Chains A and B, each alone.
Chain A
Amino acid sequence: EIVLTQSPATLSLSPGERATLSCRASQSVSNYLAWYQQKPGQAPRLLMYDASNRATGIPARFSGSGSGADFTLTISSLEPEDFAVYYCQQRGKWPLTFGGGTKVEIK
């Protein structure tokens, strides 16, 4: 199965700063990668799909890039509600797999 490695495990930033999250796949998944946000006690929320497409209702400060095995989620200017855990997920090969998550915490 494809292993997705997210880094860093924790990102400590202040509101207004730029966040850059990485997701690396153990082999190419083309552009078949999504990002999710999860807050404590809530279900995950789809942010991006197929690497660079924002899901419905997702603010423009979220952007995704990458293809093959290296992907990035960027939050251009952190809002207070953006502090959460972020997961990547690939659909390039069965079984579907997720990364271990990056926690974006308030510095």
Chain B
Amino acid sequence: QVQLQESGPRLLKPSETLSLICTVSDDSISNYYWSWIRRPAGKGLEWIGRIFSSGSPNYNPSLMSRVSMSMDTSKKQLSLKLSSVTAADTAMYYCARGTKGVDNYFDYWGQGTLVTVSS
């Protein structure tokens, strides 16, 4: 079964840009939608956006002005960038695969990476 692994800097200062990579274990990266989702401490999950190998990404309007996603199918990697971070962006960040045929649920998730924003 597919495995996902998030990586990237864990500690950021306010106003910096968060950059995370999600590495997918198999060639399915070209055939599914992939999303980034986060969970701030003590809160529920928040969908950040999704990307497919073709077409434009879809972003949560609440983050649209600061977020950017991309995909490198040759490296089997997804990328998330979130600019001008504040303490409110401190969260566990997950990448997840959209379910086949019904794209907007998530059947495989990475273990997540905790990103802390602090001065």
Decide yes or no whether A43 CB sits under 8 A from chain B.
yes
Binds B, one of A11-19, A65-73, A74-82, A92-100: A92-100
Query: How many A residues, CB 8 Å from partner?
Result: 24
Residues of A within 8 A of B106 (CB): 36, 44, 46, 89
Decide yes or no whether A54 CB sits under 8 A from chain B.
no
Which of A42, A56, A91, A100 is the one whose CB lies under 8 Å from B105? Answer: A91
Residue contact A95 to B47, C-beta cutoff 8 Å: yes
Residue contact A87 to B44, C-beta cutoff 8 Å: yes
Number of A-B contacts (CB under 8 A): 57
Majority-rule SS of A interface residues: loop
Decide yes or no whether B57 CB sits under 8 A from chain A.
no
Which of B43, B47, B58, B94 is the one whose CB lies under 8 Å from A100? Answer: B43
A interface, CB within 8 angstroms of B: 1, 32, 34, 36, 42-46, 49-50, 55-56, 87, 89, 91, 94-101
